[in-house]
Structure 1
Amino acid sequence: MTRICLAITVALVAWETCSPLTAGSYNPISLSFDDSFDDSFRESPASVTIYPEEQTYEADVSELFGNLNLFGRYHPHFGYRHQLGDTIGRQGGLSSFDLFVPLIENHDSEWLYFLDVRLLLDDQNNNLGSNLGLGVRRYLAGIQRTIGGYVYFDTRDTGVASFQQISGGVDLLGDRWDTRLNWYAPIGETRTQWGETFSGDGTYRFVGHYLKTGAVTRYYQAAMSGVDLETGYKFYSGFNTDVRAYGGIYFFNAQGSQNASGWKSRIESRISDMISLSAGVQHDPVFKTTVNFTAAIQWPSFSGLKDGPRSNLTAYDRLGESPERLRSILVDNQTVEDPDGVYLINPATGNPFYFMHVAIGGNSDGSYEDPYSTLAKAFADPRTQQGDLIVYDHRNSAETGNYIVGPDTRVLSTGPAQYINTEFGVLQLPDSNSGLTPQITGSFSMNNNTELNGFDLFNSSGPSITASGVGNILVSRNTITNAYSGSAIQLTSLTGSAIFDQSPLTKTNGTGVSVLNSSTDITFTNSPITAVNGNGVNLLNTRGTIQFGQITTTNGDISASLVNNSAGVTIDSLNSTDAATSGLVLNNQTGSLTLNGGTFSNSGVAGVQILNSQNITLRNITIATPVTNTTGDSILVNGVSNLLVSDNTITHSGAGTSVSLGNLAGAVTFDQSTINKTGGLAVSINGGTGDVTFTNSAITNTNGDGLDIQTAA
């Protein structure tokens, strides 16, 4: 409002002080026209012939250029205009600083090329815009009309987006009738999202391959393309005053917008050749009804003429007018409601969680609405092999196959409750905890950062789970049943951690778990290993920290074998029955071993056999060698240092030795342990430099010897 008041005030002052009148038409005393004017000489507008050479007008701006004669009949003019109120494609008022410059004018002033420049400033945030235009007009004496064409490059900064457009149009100006047709074509980026609000509802749902939550409202601004047409008539000419009324139609659209097809009307009054006032009203389905008011001032005149007519302008006088058009790029403020909500994001990658669904009856692309029918089809999809997704199996059915898991992939079933970590915290996946568990006969080859969760695995022709040269593996809440002659779980050269959680392994023949040449942490929690006619675990050339829970074997060769390891190994419980060689074998174990419990019964060579190793703790174990065993020892040690045997019970009725200690390189301690022997020798110490201590321990032999020490330093 301040701007338009300023414009009106300046305009009125300028009109009062600067508007020149010809001496023949203005009486400074009577302020009236000469009553003696002969009305019979008045001709109709259609019969008037204008001779340009007889017209002499001088513009004030010519004084700026001295006698250079840079301009002809039409001279530059500049001014200020302010429009108050909303209009199509704009909210709030708009100020415009204008400059119109004639470029080329022919000798009889019937042709005019011009430059039209405007700097725009909106009322909302003082954001800038601009118009840079070139045009041409020609006066057609035969029809007494001025026809023109023009093209503009426009810019607009809305405060949250910037737009550009090419626009143009044609106009036909007459003594009384005017017609204008303008077009507008945005270029470059025409739609910008500037804001977003989220409304959470606490529910989570699959949409296609993604998981979404809540509802999202997105806010866009879009530049509109279109055309407008108006026709107007001058219905009043008074003293220094013209009044014209215009009516027209327009059509605009933009990406994501409803078509803005509507009508417009305006009335314009030039109260002098320097000052104009106008009011307009528009209506369409997008911007509804808008009303605006405009005040403008131009110096020296709207037409570029100083001493020309103030009213009743003819078409020949109007070549120097600035084209009338929509100055500001039309922008539609869009609000888009997305009921699907926002994507749930994986914080580890910054990407939305991507799901490949498998369900009974599916035959399509793996989306939730059209899932794959088998894991084989899901894993054949190139997107699955690319990784960074979740393969989600909704079935309770059997399938046979061997599957190579892509990197950063989780293979989940809906059986147990499944969870993901999102930007909203840890959430349970929809459909999970259904109790539906797929039964897979075959194997899974794990990759970096992968998970297998919620399956029943069976295999008799190969490993159930393999991993080689990869790391960060999680195998959770599966059951594994394997009858292959090799290893059920084979881990080789791991580079990152491996966790087996709540995944019991039942093994027939072969070995339950083999870890070879790995230098990382491996953990089995709540994942007991049970082997019949086979071995429990085999560790070779490993480093890091390795922890097992319960290991139980029957009729195998070696229940647990640790060879050439520098790893720190912990076994919660080791139970060995009828091992052909030994229940526990350690050879060159330079890291450590802690065995926290278990039983060893009827081992062929020894219940526990330790060779050239160190830092060994055997706690809460029971070793029984029956009378039928004619060769085995209970504990056989050679070349060992730092051995602690605590809270153990050794019952040996066979022919071998209960405890045989040879070539000790370091301390050996038996604490609170009981050794019961029947016949033969209970404890043998032969060679070595290590200290041997029995504290709170009892050695009992019926019909045999208790202790034999030879060549010990």
Structure 2
Amino acid sequence: MTNIARAEDFQANVEVFLSPGDPRHRGGIAAMVPFRKNNDSMSFVDGRFWLDDNTASEYNLAFGHRWFNSNRSSIFGLFGAFDHRKSSTDRDHNQLTAGAEMLMDDWELRGNYYYPLSDRYLVGVGGTNGSFSGNKLYANGIFEEALEGLDIEAGRSFALHGIGLDENWIHIGGYHFEGDAAGDVDGVSLRLTSFLRKNLSIGLAAQDDDLFGSEIRGEIRYSFGRASGGGKRTLSERMMQLVHRDIDVKTTAGVPDHLRTDLNSTVDVSPGAGVIHIDSSSEESTEDGSYEYPYKTIANCKAAECGTEDGAMIYVHEGDSDEDGGAYDTGTGWTLRDNQQLIGEGFDLYGIGGEGDYPEITTAYGDDLTLVTLADGNEVAGIEFNSDFEYGGTTALYAEDVGTFNIHDNRFLDLNVEGSEGYYGAGIGTARLSGGTTRGVIDNNQFFEVMYPVTVLSNDASESTQNLTISNNRFMDFDQAITVHNYADDAGSVTQNLLISDNSFVSDASSDPAIYAYNMANAYDSNEGGSAIQNFTLTGNILTTEGDGIYAYNYAYAEGDYGAFADQEFTIADNDFLAVDDDTGRFYNYAFGYDNTNASKATANQTIDINDLELNMTDGSGAAFYAYNYAYTNGADGSVANATSDLSVVDSNFHEMQSSGAFYIYNIARDENSADGGTPTATQTIEFNNFYLGIAQEDLAYVYNYAYGEDALALQMVDMADVEFVYVYDEVVTLSNHAVDATATQLVTIDQLRGYTSDYDIVRGYNYAHSYDADTLATQSIDATGLEEHYVENDEGAIFYNYSYAHGDNSATATSTNTLEDIYLITEDDVLDFYNYAWTGDYGSGTSTATQTNIVTDGYLNNTDTSDAGIMATNAARADYGSGNAFATQNNTFTDLDIYNEGNPGIVYIYNYAGVNENAYGNAVANQTNNGSDLYMRSEDNDGLYLYNWARDNAYGAGGDATATMNSTFDNLDIVTEEESVYIYNRAEGDNAYGSMSFDISNVEATTDEEALIIRNTASYGGTANMSDSTIEGFVSHGSEYEGIYIYNDTEDSAYGSGSMATMDIDLTNITVTGAGDQGIYIVNASTNPDTAYGSTADQTVTLTNVELAGAHDEGLYIYNFAEGGGVALQNVSADGLISRHNAEEGVYIYNRVDSYNYNTYSDVGTYGVQTVTLENTLITDNAGGGLVAQSYGNGSDATAEQTINLVEGDILFNGAPGGAYFSNITYDGSTSTQTVDLTDTNIEDNYDDVVLDESSDTEQTVTLPDGTIVTNVP
């Protein structure tokens, strides 16, 4: 290739670049500027600057010269540079760089040499090759240095024309560097570069060596000095490309310490007061504490006042302490000075010791002694502490009023504590810390058969802060491994911060807790009050113990005017609790305001965060975690107690709870002296997220919220998500909210609670409001999505209670909302139970109000037992004694459910009750609203949908009113049952009982062995039952063993009080009943009142539209109106589009009966039966017992029967005996019976007899027939 260039073509080139990579990212700017040039050569200055994301930066300044060879086929170049780098550790490094290069059309070759100018930096000392001399300690240095070295590289270009990349390069190189500490380093490099345009390139580079490891980086580079066109650059254009060299001054910043330790250098690492040696194996007669002439005993060292200067290191060699009787003896005790280090040969000190050669320290002077007393700033390591005394106690290390300490890499053996201060510990027995800020580290120690290994106490100082780290320790066979007390009295303010991490706890020696944390603030006499703050973090621990795992106690107690404040925070993360016999964790949070004369104030806050915990409890009797939050006042007006607790359980697995449950959580606010107006407030927040429970003997979670006393407030919030269990031998989740003369609120959200089996409910919710001396409010909201359990062995799937009880003159209000979605439950008892109950009593005037809302959607419910329901919803209001009123309101919505049920009372059983008992003068009101749609219901033993509304006045008019109201809407039901598919019952009992029911039921397909649909409205003993505005549309029944549809409106015996009233008005549209074992549709209206002075009234209106009845084993349509013993029965039945055919008996049977016979005690009470039947567009055909039968019957002197029948545009065709139509009007014993029949527009043909008339001589019967009808009279 011919390369023609002119001097004016060599223009300045400025480039910017960005280089993301691993382990760092870089970016920078570079420039090449020619300052002397001709057509064949140029001299230039090259400058560049970059920085990376590790805070390192570098600049380079170079001067160079490039020239063409004689035939212009190659470019040669030389350069020299000064480089400055600021490393990531903020140290400066300088170097000189020189390089040479050769560029050809398709090849490149270059080499560079790097020479550091700066000295190396001592950045630490190595952990090996330490040595003693005299009273000095030496170790190898760790250095940061710039490395000397060189690199070479060769490159070849290639084209990828198919993708438009005309210029690409691959470069392969090698490098060598060396340093004083780092030694020799050899590595290889590889670069790939593609030019998208002449001024824009992308690249990828990698290098690898034993010192810096592997590095890979990408690069994008843009030039402001080159042409922007495409194609391959000419050799002349490459005259202005930047010099390529190592972008870094190679330093050892960031290199692992062992790779930059200089084994040929030594550094004095002695403390300022030097090193004092104790070695019982020394054979020297001289003892001065040097390495060459050590003290042989601790006593000798003490006698010589060894280490009289603060800050000395006392180094104890193993000596003869591993031999019988050879242990070092501290006598009556040994007290260190400030900042001294007590180091034993058991600790690896710069490579000295650490091979298990622990010097043994003990005492032969008896019980209740301290081996070593710490001062401020002490470090103790590499020692074995023990005691041969079985009773009494030996404290290994004791610290009081110290600022800092560091206790690590020791062994503590056979240390026991008995006596006056049992929990004051052994091992690191009692670290009694107070007075200012205290920081302590207890790390990598071993405790074997030590009763109380670590005990840390704060004094009741005015100000005290403790920061303690307990990590990497091993605790074996202890009574109580870690004991921490924090205490503030009156004006005191104490804070404890504890990190307990990566420890191992194994003990079968005691039932005491492994970790005991006590935080208390008291306020007695000071108006300022006490403040105690304790923060615990437990992470990476392994725990196996016979006793409790963690016992945390947070307590604020106030008697003064101001108060006490206690705050405790626990974080439990990434721990393995393998076997804990008692409770794994017990957390108590108390706020007590306790003063009868002053307005005391107490505040207790507790936070528990459990994250990534593995737990297994295969023995013992404890629970996993027990949390108790309690606010209490017993003080004067204005006393305040606030208790706040937050519990979070995330990403944790509890594998087996052999004898108990996982969580017992209590939140309590109690005002004991409510008359004085104390205000206790208990607030608890609970979160479960991604939690697994294998096997538990009791609840996965038992959650209790309780408020007692006037102005007491308990608030509990529960959030559960992604919770899974295998087998729970009790309830899975119990949620209890209870208010007594107080306010209790519980808010629960569950998202995905799934498991295999439990003995009792998957969720049990209780909401109680009890009032004695103050108004009470209990509110509970449960929102659950994704409940799944494959078998509940002995109980309900989920049960929800809402209960209010007004004992005296104050009100009780209970409000409950339950929302369930995406449910899969298989149970032996009711799958879902909802109870709402309002009750008044104790002769008071208080009002009891219970309101419950239940929403269930998208579920599979299966009850395998023969005595329980799929869904049971009960709403009840009861007034017992006094003048108090009870109000119960329940709203139920059930949609998109598949329900299988083997038991009684039904697949869906809904019960609404209002009752007033004797000596109760208040009112009981029960209101229930039910909505259901898209229900697939199957039962092999009992009813499908059962709606029961009952108002009962048990005082028989002597008390208040009982009112029960039920409104129901159901759509799209597919029901297969052993007994009734749909049973609707409205009942009023007693003079002041009022039962009201309305319903709208549509699109039902029912298959049953008994009735497909029963609708009953009953009033008795003076009650009033009203069923109105009720419709059934789109009802299909196949093959019921009894009636297809049974409609019954009646009044029962009314021997007490006034007469009863039963009123029913219902519409049936688009009804198909085939193959019924009895009647297709049976409609009864009855008033029965034997031996009563008061008449009862049964009034029923039934409208049938587009009804088809076929294949019944009895009548197709049976209509019966009955009045008895002073009763009044009024019935109006109309049908439009009725088809009744192929029935074993009559197609339509209409019967009106009035009977006062033998019920003449009250002769002035008449008995009336009035029935009107209108049939329009009717087809009655192929019925074996006849087409249309109408009977009117009177019996008794005061009995009156009236019946009117109109058949409009109807057909009576092909019916068997007694023919097309049979009309009977009969009276006995002076009764009156009137029957009017109009069949003018009726087509009657091809019957055995067209019309048969049967009447008594004293009756009045009018029958209007179409022309040509053949009439047969019965004499």
Specify if TM > 0.5: no
Greater RCO, 1 or 2 (C-alpha within 8 Å, sep 6+): 1
TM-score normalised by L of structure 1: 0.38
TM, length-normalised to structure 2:
0.22
Q: Select the structure that is richer in strand.
A: 2
